[in-house]
Structure 1
């Protein structure tokens, strides 16, 4: 196995590959035997770890702080909507108030896990973006849906990072992140219901007038190497009269794809006075 040749090819594609691979090598050598470190499997694992880390917000503490910043935004977004006169029609206020309470609880939990004082890492917002998002009820719901669906996928993206890290802090952080993740999904469903949409992300029925980046990668027809769209074309399933569009939509609705930190910031970043 010509490792030097492979390293050379990788570095041609990514100028920072050397640093990434060196970090991954040192991390894996902590738990691997000398014999194992000489195998092709070790090399493949090292490369996977090195480049998977690109989507992570950092170590467990950094990931929790990243999550906290997003929770501050969601809490304050719903609070601003709650107190803006004339924004919320009758019958919708209870939803918004309850979601704001949930987001406040998420902030309190993350601050507690991190050992922070209340609002210690409170970010500053771009008031222009925030005011534009609260221009009217329909616009508010559009942005609320974008933030909630982004939040769900952001937590999913970092959960794998925490699982991979495996430190004592990560083992505490992972269940915290997963507990919040499921509630964000409920919020997303509630907002979709308020918009008269399906309560899950659905191809062509997301009602998004704002940002298609929220649903990047969601149209994957394969999961775990299985061609799920192709499943509908099997002879035993053709009698069920699935059209190609129905097959695509069914797969789309059945799975949720993670977002990296950079992808999340491309969506939520405009709300902040400075980037996270």
Structure 2
């Protein structure tokens, strides 16, 4: 696959693509302005037909398992943001712009994954019935007010995004046998990371809480609490590849800084346990 040629084609559709893909902060600042343009998350969709032949060649059972697993997570996020935008509780202006953009990204991810699975000769799993109260179908779980309480909505959104980033990282290695699938999955992973950073930025502004950063510190939930702790456990690691990051090479690197530098993967078992209360 000639990636340079594909990027050139995308640039013809969206002349601003390079500008938006470069500085991370600028991407966040322009989040509300992305509607109607080809954002990074749309790259897999734009290439979907070109990827279809690649997906049909050498797609192993393990790769298909990962695609189906990712589809479940994207179904969850797509429906969550669709309901959030329709709820009417998201403030007008940049907040609504951000939620609408993320909604469109997640729905694009769903469409892309279904295309990839179908092109591989398999049938995409059906969308589950979700209970965003985290009540296993009772609609009376700890987040029952999620679509009437904006602060809670942002908290649940942050948890979904942080979990999604760790989930993609946890299974990326299983895609190494198919470069096209791996490339597309990592593009989605990078978009989910930007979603997480932006939602955290929105919570920081709403709560006037400067301790909420665009990234995870240790295993801190950002003030959400025990109900979502499972999504953050394991992030407190300060050792990478057997090397202790704190004070490495005699540099003054704190435990917080060391843990903020890396996202730790979640296994499929851990992710499915986190998601289970949201499935009716």
Output the TM-score relative to the length of structure 2: 0.66
Question: What is the CA deviation profile of residues 92-122 of structure 1, one whole-angstrom value per residue up to 9, with x for unaligned ones?
Answer: 1111111000001101110110118998622
Residues 94 and 211 of structure 1, relative CA distance in 2, 3 Å threshold: same
Question: What is the CA deviation profile of residues 162-214 of structure 1, one whole-angstrom value per residue up to 9, with x for unaligned ones?
Answer: 22xx2xxx433211211100000000011001001311112347232231111
Q: 109, 124, 129: which is aligned to 1:124?
A: 129
Instruction: Please say which structure displays the higher CA radius of gyration.
Output: 1
Equivalents in 2 of 1:71, 1:247: separation in Å? 35
Residue 200 of structure 1: aligned partner: 215
How many matched pairs?
A: 200
Contact (CA 8 Å) 1:149, 1:185: kept in 2 or not? yes
Post-superposition offset of 1:215:
1.2
Question: What is the CA deviation profile of residues 14-38 of structure 1, one whole-angstrom value per residue up to 9, with x for unaligned ones?
Answer: xxxxxxxxxxxxxxxxxxxxxxxxx
Q: CA RMSD in A?
A: 2.3
Matched, 1:182 2:190: yes
Structure 2 residue matching 1:115: 3-state secondary structure: helix
Post-superposition offset of 1:125:
1.6
Equivalents in 2 of 1:189, 1:111: separation in Å? 26
The answer to which of 200-209 and 218-227 deviates more is 200-209
Matched, 1:171 2:171: no
Equivalents in 1 of 2:172, 2:75: separation in Å? 19
Question: What is the CA deviation profile of residues 227-267 of structure 1, one whole-angstrom value per residue up to 9, with x for unaligned ones?
Answer: 111427x3xx3xxxx4xxx6101101101110001111121
Output the TM-score relative to the length of structure 1: 0.67
Contact (CA 8 Å) 2:221, 2:228: kept in 1 or not? no
Contact (CA 8 Å) 1:68, 1:110: kept in 2 or not? yes
Residue 84 of structure 1: aligned partner: 87
Matched, 1:251 2:255: no
Residue 268 of structure 2: aligned partner: 261
Structure 2's unaligned 5+ residue stretches are 1-60, 132-136, 205-211
Q: 228, 238, 241: which is aligned to 1:224?
A: 241
Equivalents in 2 of 1:96, 1:211: separation in Å? 21
The answer to which of 252-261 and 116-125 deviates more is 116-125
Contact (CA 8 Å) 2:238, 2:258: kept in 1 or not? yes
Matched, 1:152 2:165: yes
Residues 119 and 81 of structure 1, relative CA distance in 2, 3 Å threshold: farther
Contact (CA 8 Å) 2:171, 2:267: kept in 1 or not? yes
Q: 97, 100, 103: which is aligned to 2:100?
A: 97
Post-superposition offset of 1:219:
0.9
Residue 61 of structure 1: aligned partner: 64
Post-superposition offset of 1:72:
0.6
Residues 136 and 147 of structure 1, relative CA distance in 2, 3 Å threshold: same
Residues 269 and 140 of structure 1, relative CA distance in 2, 3 Å threshold: same
